[in-house]
Amino acid sequence: MFPLSLPAALMLIVVLLSSAACSNGAGPSRRVAAPPAADEPERVPGQYIIRLAQGASLEAALAHFDALGVKFSRRIMKDYYLIEVERDPGIPAMLGIGEAAAEIDNVEPNLIAHTMSPQ
């Protein structure tokens, strides 16, 4: 039925899962961000999730971030977009931009969620 015996197949699965769990994914081609400041949540640098105000266009909302150099924007779901800026001013400044813009209901950092506790 299997090309490997059942014990050998189970051992292979355990080895593959344990090596994936031990890897931090930071190969030579990946950039690893510096750890966040003690008072700042762990997040993807430069990435924020914005929620558009009712009837607002994405283009009008993104215009508020022009000075920061918007790298990309991607729709997550209705009225929610992931954006990345080249010059990240930090969470408080981004929240201030969102509060001042009528086209934006909410701005929040793209937080990193961990499925395993850090070691």
Sign of the dihedral defined by the CA atoms of residues 48, 53, 54, 58, in that order: negative
Q: Per-residue pLDDT tens for 14-51?
A: 555 555 444 444 444 434 444 555 667 799 999 999 99
Can you say how many angstroms the Cα of residue 74 is from the centroid of all Cα atoms in its chain?
12
Domain 43-111 has CATH 3.40.50.300: no
111, 104 contact by CB (below 8 A):
no
Q: Is the pLDDT of residue 95 over 90?
A: yes
Q: Is the pTM of this model over 0.85?
A: no
Instruction: Reply yes or no on whether the pLDDT at 91 is more than 70.
Output: yes
* pLDDT at residue 115 in the model: 84
